[in-house]
């Protein structure tokens, strides 16, 4: 099996910008000269298309986010997938893992407005756009095209999540840095419970943090 990007929807059962799995028609024992492939739509219905078509592009590599912590990567980190079958993805450099451990990153999952965490300094930045060649443009600097691997993604309920963030307006030594963004875990009567710079879950009032608009 291989990865297919929907660049234009042939009908309303496919989503433009979404990455699907394709399968050569040879794998069903049919001899068609390798000119056609199978693909399942959003309703899991199987369709047949010629490789030379205006709707789908075949991809050699795709990006995905790990949904679980493993010895090789942390939850939310980006990995490269280079192969697939019915149940497993091949992670470049690591081997095969169950598909349920990943969510493929495409324009459906990396939407404008979500926040991602920079790997380098662990600050949260907002996505302005995901380009056609899978580069992230952030609202902090819309002149720089960043690799997906530069970021970690927030995960909730087994998928990429879009959380509300707060921004630190008053620093607290060893816990909060002014200007840094933090994910809201829970709202309280006095403020919000967030995960601070020590990775501890702690409540802070509105003297220290405010909603990041």
Stretch 63-85: mean pLDDT: 94
Contacts of 180 (CB under 8 A, 6+ apart): 123, 124, 167, 168, 197
Q: Mean pLDDT of all residues in the chain?
A: 89
pLDDT band with cut points at 50, 70 and 90 for residue 4: very high
Q: Any residues with CB less than 8 A from the CB of 71 and at least 6 apart, and which?
A: none
CB of 139 closer than 8 Å to CB of 125: yes
Whole-angstrom Cα distance, residue 20 to residue 106? 10
Residue 31 has pLDDT above 80, yes or no: no
Structure tokens at 138: 């952030």
Q: What is the pLDDT of residue 182?
A: 87
Q: Say yes or no to pLDDT of 165 above 80.
A: yes
pLDDT digits (tens, 9 = 90+) for 87-102: 999 999 999 999 999 9
- Running DSSP on this structure, what letter comes out for residue 150? G
Q: pTM (2 decimals)?
A: 0.78
Cα separation of 172 and 10, whole Å? 54
User: How far apart, in whole angstroms, are the C-alpha atoms of residue 70 and residue 59?
Assistant: 26
Rounded-to-integer distance, Cα 163 and Cα 44, Å: 29
pLDDT score of 28: 53
Nearest CA to 61 among 93, 100, 15?
93
Q: Give the chain's radius of gyration (CA, Å).
A: 20
Whether pLDDT at 30 is above 60: no
Helices in the chain by DSSP H: which ranges? none
- What are phi and psi for residue 211, nearest 5 degrees? -60, 135
Does residue 130 surpass a pLDDT of 70?
Answer: yes
């Amino acid at each position: 099996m291989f990865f297919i990007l929907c660049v234009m929807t042939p009908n309303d059962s496919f989503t433009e910008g979404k990455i699907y799995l394709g399968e050569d028609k040879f794998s069903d024992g049919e001899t068609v000269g390798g000119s056609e492939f199978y693909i399942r739509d959003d309703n899991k219905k199987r369709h047949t298309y010629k490789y030379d078509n205006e709707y789908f592009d075949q991809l050699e590599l795709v990006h995905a986010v790990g949904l679980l912590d493993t010895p090789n990567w942390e939850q939310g980190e980006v990995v490269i997938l280079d192969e697939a079958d019915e149940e497993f993805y091949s992670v470049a450099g690591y081997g095969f893992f169950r598909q349920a451990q990943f969510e493929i990153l495409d324009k459906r999952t990396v939407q404008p407005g979500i926040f991602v965490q920079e790997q380098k300094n662990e600050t949260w930045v907002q996505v302005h756009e995901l380009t056609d060649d899978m580069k992230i443009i952030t609202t902090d600097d819309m002149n720089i095209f960043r690799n997906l691997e530069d970021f970690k993604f927030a995960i909730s309920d087994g998928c990429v999540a879009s959380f509300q963030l707060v921004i630190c307006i008053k620093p607290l030594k060893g816990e909060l840095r002014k200007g840094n963004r933090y994910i809201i875990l829970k709202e309280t009567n006095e403020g919000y419970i967030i995960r601070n710079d020590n990775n501890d879950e702690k409540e802070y009032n509105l003297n220290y943090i405010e909603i990041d608009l």
